[in-house]
């Protein structure tokens, strides 16, 4: 019986040959593959310098939970890409070490050795650390810091000459770590990184002074968080950060901004109301984005920020004020308002035994309509609300919910009449990625 075709082995060779020829014809430039890899392993906000919404979303992740979850997923994707073929394996190394996360001194030793083991050859002109853009120390728990760990940090910093971002924001180690002389000596190596544009630092004021002074000419974004040690000494100091456009401070007091000259500042986010107020009095005309930690204190000063584009407020702060904060306000440049508080849908009376209070309903109505008033904000285009992931905790109460739904229904109609978009981010994954979707009456009804 004659065979109807070539032997099976021969046919496999022909098919392999054809696929190889086809793959050669369909080869893409390395630059395209790198863009594809970057898209597949993208983590919102971690490397952003000029993407303002991404930066604002990123700093909502106060404890690094979302970003570290995304880091693990991103690393899995990169490692999987490296297993596809030798060409992809060689290319993915440029993204594999782009973001280094160090969670302990022992891990710092291993990473330092890994970065130094790479031999530079004519075909490999740069070491692995050459591609590192973000270096983050997120030390956990009790940490006994040794000189060996200090040397490891220095070795890592020296192996990463192109750092754009350095972070200790998500460290949960004991406070003494941030003030040990050896750790501070290690961070002094940052002075040599003239390309560093973004600094996320957990420290006390003296350490801030040392590091910020060394990096002042290059920084564009500064996020400061206090460690748990109280600083007693407050020696006066002044540092000019000529290119800093975004300043975020979680210091509740300490007048950090009094020590800084910020001629290019556009975004101000701080927990220190007095510090914020002082800056607005001096340089409010610079600001485009502002968070308001104390509404009753700051709202009267918004007239000193004529170029303000976006504001973020807490509904809780507005509710505590118990008076018409926006009555005498007229701001013609504000186009976006973010309400960063979960209690905007339910008034306080929702949690009382009677679950009825006309005063609370009237107050909610007054606040909602003042936020979209054409007199207060004539150029407003969007209002956004930040909500937790799990909101529907109480059973449905028809009588109360009917009253609240009536308020929300009329408010949505007013927004539609003015052409104002209403959006919501629900859950940390949406907040931190700057992902918004339309807020509808159906969504509100589910929450009542």
Mean pLDDT of 327-334: 80
Mean of the per-residue pLDDT values for the chain? 79
pLDDT of residue 254: 63
Could you tell me how many residues make up the chain?
A: 448
Find how far residue 207's CA is from the centre of its chain: 23
Number of domains in the chain: 1
**357 falls within a domain:** yes
CA distances from 314 to 151, 261, 272, 338 (A): 44, 28, 14, 8
The verdict on residue 117 lying in a domain is no
Q: Tens digit of pLDDT for each residue in 404-435?
A: 788 888 999 999 999 999 999 988 889 899 89
For tokens 């104390």, what's the residue?
294
| Three-point CA angle 52, 55, 58, nearest 5° | 150
Domain presence at residue 170: no
Please tell me the predicted confidence (pLDDT) of residue 164: 93
Predicted confidence band of residue 13 (pLDDT cuts 50, 70, 90): very low
Going by pLDDT thresholds of 50, 70 and 90, the confidence category of residue 238 is confident
What region does 154 belong to: left with phi over 0, alpha with psi -120 to 50, or beta?
Answer: alpha
The alpha carbon of 445 is separated from its chain's Cα centroid by a whole number of angstroms, namely: 30
Q: How deeply is 404 buried, as exposed, middle or buried, from its count of CB atoms within 10 A (0-12, 13-18, 19+)?
A: buried
The C-alpha atoms of residue 132 and residue 11 are separated, in whole angstroms, by 46
CA-to-CA dists, residue 401 to 343, 383, 398, 409, 427, angstroms: 15, 23, 5, 12, 23
Residue 19: pLDDT band (50, 70, 90) is: very low
Residue 353 has what pLDDT?
43
Residue 255 lies in a domain: no
DSSP letter for each residue of 255-271 = -GGGGEE-TT--EEEES
CA atoms of 223 and 219, how far apart (whole Å): 11
Phi and psi (nearest 5°) for 218?
-110, -20
SS3 track for 68-88: HHHHHHHHHHHHHHHCCCHHH
Report the distance separating Cα 378 and Cα 373, nearest Å: 7
Is 285 a domain residue? no
CA distances from 331 to 262, 268, 310, 324, 394 (A): 24, 18, 11, 16, 38
Query: 422 by DSSP, 3-state: which?
Result: strand
Q: Per-residue pLDDT tens for 345-403?
A: 555 444 444 444 666 677 778 888 888 888 889 999 999 988 877 655 454 455 556 77
Mean pLDDT over 180-203 rounds to 78
CA-based nearest residue to 382, from 439, 319, 335: 335
Q: What is the pLDDT of residues 121-173, one digit of tens each?
A: 444 557 888 889 999 998 877 667 788 888 898 899 989 989 999 998 898 76
Is 430 part of a structural domain of the chain?
A: yes
Task: Give kind and range of the element (H or E) at residue 12.
Answer: helix 8-25
Measured in whole angstroms, the distance separating CA 279 from the mean position of its chain's CA atoms is 23
Cα(40)–Cα(32) distance, integer angstroms = 13
Range of the domain at 399: 312-448
In angstroms, the Cα distances linking 327 to 236, 301, 334, 367, 377 are 40, 14, 16, 10, 11
Mean pLDDT throughout 322-348? 71
Which percentage of the chain shows pLDDT scores above 90? 28
Written as one string, the DSSP assignment of 153-215 is HHHHHHH-TT-SEEE-TT--S-GGGGG-HHHHHHHGGGGG-TT--EEEEEE-HHHHHHHHHHH
Predicted local confidence at residue 345, as pLDDT: 54
Assess if residue 385 is contained within a domain.
Answer: yes
For residue 374, being part of any structural domain is answered with: yes
């Amino acid at each position: 019986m004659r065979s109807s075709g070539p032997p099976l082995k021969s046919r496999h060779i022909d098919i392999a040959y054809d696929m190889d020829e086809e793959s050669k014809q369909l080869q893409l430039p390395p630059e395209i593959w790198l863009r594809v890899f970057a898209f597949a392993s993208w983590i919102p906000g971690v490397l952003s310098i000029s993407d303002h919404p991404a930066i604002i979303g990123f700093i909502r992740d106060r404890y690094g939970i979302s970003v570290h979850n995304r880091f693990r997923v991103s690393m899995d994707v990169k490692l999987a890409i490296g297993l596809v073929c030798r060409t992809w394996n060689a290319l993915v190394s440029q993204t594999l070490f782009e973001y280094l996360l160090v969670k302990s001194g022992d891990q710092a030793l291993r990473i330092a050795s890994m970065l130094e083991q790479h031999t530079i050859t004519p075909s490999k002109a740069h070491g692995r650390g050459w591609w590192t853009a973000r270096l983050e120390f997120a030390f956990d728990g009790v940490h006994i810091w040794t000189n060996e760990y200090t040397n490891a940090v220095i070795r890592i910093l020296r192996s990463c000459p192109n750092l754009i971002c350095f972070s200790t924001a998500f460290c949960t180690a004991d406070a003494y770590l941030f003030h040990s002389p050896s750790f501070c000596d290690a961070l002094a190596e940052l002075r040599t990184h003239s390309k560093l544009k973004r600094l996320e630092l957990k420290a006390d004021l003296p350490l801030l002074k040392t590091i910020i002074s060394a990096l002042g000419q290059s920084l564009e974004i500064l996020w400061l968080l206090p460690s748990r040690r109280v600083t007693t000494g407050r020696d006066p100091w002044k540092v000019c950060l000529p290119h800093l456009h975004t300043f975020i401070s979680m210091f509740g007091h300490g007048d950090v901004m009094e020590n800084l000259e910020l001629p290019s500042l556009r975004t101000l986010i701080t927990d220190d109301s007095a510090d914020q107020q002082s800056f607005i009095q001096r340089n409010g005309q610079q600001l485009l984005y502002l968070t308001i930690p104390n509404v009753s204190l700051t709202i009267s000063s918004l007239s000193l920020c004529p170029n303000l584009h976006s504001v973020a407020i807490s509904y809780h702060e507005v509710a505590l004020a118990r008076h018409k904060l926006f009555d005498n306000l007229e701001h013609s440049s504000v186009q976006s308002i973010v309400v960063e508080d979960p209690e905007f849908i339910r008034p306080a009376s929702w949690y009382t035994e009677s679950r009825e209070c006309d005063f609370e309903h009237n107050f909610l109505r007054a606040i909602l309509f003042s936020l979209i008033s054409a007199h207060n904000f004539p150029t407003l285009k969007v209002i956004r609300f930040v909500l937790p992931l799990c909101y529907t905790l109480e059973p449905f109460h028809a009588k109360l919910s009917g009253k609240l739904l009536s308020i929300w229904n009329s408010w949505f109609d007013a927004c539609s009449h003015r052409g104002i978009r209403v959006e919501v981010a629900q859950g940390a994954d949406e907040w931190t990625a700057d992902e918004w979707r339309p807020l509808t009456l159906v969504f509100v009804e589910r929450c009542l």
